[in-house]
Structure 1
C-alpha cells in the first residue's frame, strides 16, 4: 500500500513566535479537515519567547527541517534482498534471474561489503581459466555439493578447499600419476583404477559422476588417506562446467570504490555521480551505515519533490534551504510580496493584518473547525508577539478581535500573560551576540542591494542599551554577509527602537530614510516598533534615494 506523503508546513529561517505557532496551528487545521498528512516544522532555532509559549501550553517542538530538497528517502527504494559473500555464483545468478535484478548487494551483519552484478558473474564464467580457482577463493564444500547436486560420501561438508586444482581423470592411471598433485579435486567416473590412483597421489577430493557406485574398498582407503568422495548425478562434462560456479561471490564481488548513497543524501548532490557512473542500481544505506535497499536510476524519473506550505513569509531569502527543489503548494502570509517564484499555481493567502496567526484563526472559523485550548493559546501568543500586544502600527482590529477570542478559549488574561511572555523572550543576559542577532533576522532586497534586518524586543531599556555596543561589534565582524546590515533594539514599553547599522552605504541610507543625522553606527528612532510596516518601507525608500 502506497504511503501518503507528508506535507511540511514551515515558517522562515530564524523563526519567531508567529512563524512557529502559525505552522503548528495550520497543520492541526489541515489534518482535522482530512486534506492529507501535514506536519509543522521549523527552519531554525526556537527563541526564548517561543520556548516559553510551547512549554506554557504543553505543545511539542515542531522539529527542525533545515533543507527541503528531494532526498534519496523521498524516492522509491527497492527492497532488493542482500546476499552473503559465501553464496555461490550459481545461487547468486539464480536469485538475480528470479528477481529480475542485474545487481545484488553483498552484506555482512547489516554492513555493505560489496556488489555482484550479472556482468561480474559472466566475467567469472568466461574469463577465468585458473584451475586453482576453488582453492584461491576458499570455496566451501557445501557450495560444491549444492552447485553439482552432489552428496558427500566421505568427508565433512563444512570443510573449505584450500589447495589443489580441478582436473578430469579421464586418462589411464599411469598418465594420471604424472599430473595429479596433493589436494587436487579430480572428476572421474566408475573407474576403480583411476579412483585408487587419485587416493594414492593424495588427491583432496574425488568427484564420481553419473551416480556411479563407489566400492567399499575405495571408501575405506579414502578415509585412511583423508580424501573426500562426492557423488553427483551429472556427467563429467556438466560437472566440470558447474564446478567453477560454486565459488563464493565474495571472491568476485566489487568491494573497492563502491558507489553507495545514504537515505539523507540530496538528489541535487548526487546527480553528478549518477550522470558519470552508468550503473542501473546503487545501494542505499541508513544513518547507521546499514544496507536498506537499492536506488534504481529509473526511479529518478518518477521522483516526487517535497510538498511545502510556507507561513509567515514569501521571500526566497527568508525561506528554508532547498526551497527551489521543493513544490510549494500554499503560502499563508501577512508581509509584502517578495521574490519567491513557483513553478505551478499555488493557493496564496496574503492579508494586511499584524500576524499570520490572525489569518489562521479566520480559516478555522471559515471551515467551522473548533479551536482547542492549546491551539488557541498558540494563536493568541503569536498575535501578541507580532503586534507587541497591540502597540505595533501593523496591528489591526482583526488582530485584536482574534486575540481576545482565542484568549477566552485558552483561558488566559492577555495583559498578565503577555508580560510573562515578553519577559521570557527578553532575557538576553546569558546569550552571545551571534545568538541574539540571528534570533529574529530576515534578509530583503531592493534596487539591486541586499540588506539584512534583525530585531530584538525587551521590556528593559538598560538591558537594550548595554547590548547595543556588543551587537555593533558583532555586526562589524559579519558585514560581508549582506551589502548592509541593520539591527533594531526595540523597547516595548516606550514603543521606540535604537537602530544599529553597518555597511559602506549604511549611514547614507539611514540618513535618507529617517531625514536626520545618525551617529557613526546607530540612531534613536522614537515610535519605531514594526520592522515590516515601519522600518523596511523607509529603508527601501532610503536605498532608492542613495542609489
Structure 2
C-alpha cells in the first residue's frame, strides 16, 4: 500500500475520465513496474458502463476522499496480549519492546482492553488487602512464572479464587490461629510448618529458598488438594513479588476505550488525540480486529497519498482531500484551472478533443503495444468526447487516433458509436438527480463559482422528457451546491445544438450577453454549440471578465 499510486479522473466522471485512468495506469505499470491503480471519483454513468462491459473491463474502485488516513502512517505493530498474563509478564514485555501501553486481545484478535505502565505502577503503590490475589482469580501458572518456581504438587492450571496470602513465620502452634481454608502460605523449609499449613486446609504452600520438599509432604499435599510451589527466592522477596502474578485483566481499562480504524482520516483523529492524555491509541482494521498502535508522534510527518490526475486540472473538479495528496502528474486537455501543487509535477496538456488521445500518443511515443481491450477504451473515450468528430474540440489528431484504435479494437466507428450513445442517453427511467450528476463540473472565474452539467442524446424526444425532470430539480441542485449560477446543457448530437437550462441571479443575462441572444426569450437555444469545454465555458469566462472590467 505504501507504493500505490492512484490514477484518477474528475468527480462525476465521463467515459474519457474513466477510460483514460485505466489506460494510463496500465501504461505506467508497463513502463515502471510500479503499483499504479486506476480509481474513480464518482459514479459510473450508463455510457461508460456500456463501454466497460463491451470490452470486459472491471470498473475502477471508488475513491471518495484522498486525504491521509491512518493506514498511510506508520503503525507500530505492538503485539496484543491475553488478559490472563501476569503483571510481571506484561511489565517485562513493555521494557523489552520499549512501549508504555499494551493492548489486550481475545482469541479472535478483538480488543478487550488496555493496560499502561501507569496502571502497573498504581497496582504496586496502592494498598490492597491480603486477599487481592484471590479476588483477582490468579492462576497458579502465573505464580510459578512470577516466582521463577517449579510445581512440586498440584495443577498449574488451578485458579485461586478464595483465601488470603500470608507468611508462616511463627511456630506451628501460632499458625493454627491464622491459617484458614483456601489460604496461600509462604514459608520456609521447616517440615512442621509445611505439615501444619496442609493440615489447616491451605490451598497452596510456597516453599522458599529452593528448599526441597519431602515425599511425605508431597503425598500429603496431593491427598489434601494442596498445591506446592518451590521458589529460589527468599521469603521477603517471594512476598514482595507474589502480587505481580495477578492477571492484568484485574487492572486493565475496558470502558470508553478510544480506538481508530485504518480508514480514519488523520485530520479527524487529531482532535480526539489532543483531548486525551494517552500516549498510545489502538488501531483496528475494517473488521474491528486489532492491528497495532499509534501515537501523536506518528502524525507529525504522515505519508501523503500519491496521485496522477487525468482529464482535469481544477480543484473544484477533483476528488475530495486533494490538497493533502502528493500530485505526481497531470494529463489533461482542458483549460488551465485553479489547481496548485507543492512541488513541480509532470504536466502534459494539449488542445485536443480528448485526454485519451494524449494517452494514445504516449503509448506510441514509448513504443508500447496497445492491446485490443485498451484500444477499445481509448477509442470509446475519443468518440464520446468529440461526439463522433462533430464537436469543435475535435482535431485531426483525435480523428486519426480514433480510427487507428478502432482498427486495433475491431470495431466499426459509426455503428459502435450509435450503440454507445444510445446506452448513455437512455435516461428517461432515471431520477433527476442521476441525470444531473451524470456529467457535472464546477468552474471558477475570479470569485464567482458556477456549475455546468451536460447530457448528450441522439433523440430530441428523450431530451424533452429529460428537460421536464430537470427544470424543477435545478432549484434544489442550485441550493445544494451553493454556487452563484447553475447551467445544464441538453445537447442534440444529430443536429449539433444545445438547449441551456439556467438557475441563479444573473445567469440568463450572462447567457444572453455571451451568445448575443434575444433578451425576451426564456428558452436559451444554441445552434452549433455542443462542447462545454471549447464553446460554452470560454464564452462565459470572457463575458464574466468583461463584466468585471
Contact 1:407-1:414 at 8 Å conserved across structures: yes
Q: Distance in 1 between matches of 2:316 and 2:477?
A: 17
Does the CA-based 8 Å contact 1:512-1:546 persist in structure 2? no
Give aligned pairs, total.
Answer: 545
Local SS of the residue matching 1:423: helix
Map of 1:56 onto structure 2: 54
The equivalent of 2:333 in structure 1 is 334
SS in 1 for 2:5: strand
**TM superposition shift of 1:409:** 1.4
> Retained in 2: the 8 A contact 1:7–1:309?
yes
Q: CA RMSD in A?
A: 1.9
Give the deviation of 1:219 after TM superposition. Answer: 4.1
Counterpart check, 1:28 vs 2:26: yes
**Matched position secondary structure for 1:104:** strand
Moved more, 77-86 or 213-222: 213-222
Query: In structure 2, what is the equivalent of residue 513 of structure 1?
Result: 514
SS of the residue corresponding to residue 293 of structure 2 reads strand
Question: In structure 2, which of residues 63, 80, 83 is the aligned counterpart of residue 82 of structure 1?
Answer: 80
Residues 209-257 of structure 1, C-alpha deviations (whole Å, 9 max, x = no match): 1232334554454445443332222211121122111111111112222
Q: Which residue of 2 aligns with 1:206?
A: 205
For the Cα contact (< 8 Å) 2:146–2:242, is it kept in 1? yes
- Measured after TM superposition, the shift of residue 182 of structure 1 is 2.9
Take 1:106 and 1:302, find their aligned partners in 2: how far apart are those partners?
A: 28
Question: Matched residues in 2 for 1:389 and 1:6: separation?
Answer: 35
**Alignment partner of 1:33: what SS?**
helix
Residue 290 of structure 1 corresponds to 289
Once residues 128 and 531 of structure 1 are traced to their aligned partners in structure 2, the CA distance between those partners, rounded to angstroms, is 78
1:519–1:12 Cα change, 3 Å: farther
Give the direction of change, closer, same or farther, for the CA distance of 1:146–1:11 in structure 2 (3 Å limit).
same
Contact 2:130 2:164 in 1 (8 A): yes
The aligned counterpart of 1:107 is 105
* In 2: Cα distance, 1:140 partner to 1:390 partner: 81
Match of 2:537 in 1: 536
Distance 2:344 2:279 in 1: 35
Aligned to 1:499: 500
Residue 278 of structure 1 and its aligned partner are, at CA, apart by 4.4
Instruction: Tell me if structure 1 keeps the 8 A contact 2:428–2:465.
Output: no
> Residue 380 in 1 paired to residue 379 in 2?
yes
Who is 2:403 aligned against?
404
The offset of 1:292, in angstroms, is: 1.3
Q: Tell me, yes or no, if the aligned pair for 2:2 and 2:72 is still in contact at 8 Å.
A: no
Partner of 1:131: 130
| Cα distance in 1 between the residues matched to 2:152 and 2:253 | 35
**For residues 24 and 225 of structure 1, what CA distance do their matches in structure 2 show?**
76
Provide Cα deviations, 1:43-100, integer angstroms capped at 9, x if missing partner. 0111111111111111111111111111111122222211100111111222222223
In the TM superposition, 1:303-318 aligns within 5 A as 303-318=302-317
- Unmatched 5+ stretches in structure 2: none
2:96 matches 1:98:
yes
TM-superposed CA distance for 1:259, in Å, is 2.0
Q: Secondary structure at the match of 1:499?
A: strand
TM-score, length of structure 2 as denominator length: 0.95
* Pairwise CA distance, 1:137: 1.1
CA offsets, 1:400-428, max 9 Å, x none?
Answer: 11111211211211111111111111111
> What are the residue-to-residue correspondences of 1:86-485 with 2, within 5 Å?
86-108=84-106, 109-480=108-479, 481=481, 482-485=483-486
- Check whether the contact 1:510–1:518 (CA below 8 A) recurs between aligned residues: no
- Measure how far apart 1:296 and its partner are: 4.3
2:14 maps to 16
Q: Is the 8 A contact 2:87 2:244 kept in 1?
A: yes
8 A contact 2:180–2:201 mirrored in 1: yes
State how far apart, in whole Å, the 2-side matches of 1:227 and 1:246 are: 19
Distance verdict in 2 for CA 1:363–1:45, change over 3 Å? same
Residues in 1 aligned to 2:544 and 2:333: alpha-carbon distance in whole angstroms:
23
Q: Cα deviations across residues 303-358 of structure 1 (Å, max 9, x unaligned)?
A: 21001100000110100011011000111111111111111111111111111111
Do the aligned partners of residues 514 and 22 (structure 1) sit closer, same or farther apart at CA in structure 2, a change above 3 Å counting?
same
- Residues 149-158 or 181-190, more deviating: 149-158
- CA separation in 2, counterparts of 1:396 and 1:224? 99
Which runs of 5 or more structure 1 residues have no equivalent in the other structure? none
User: Which is further off, 185-194 or 277-286?
Assistant: 277-286
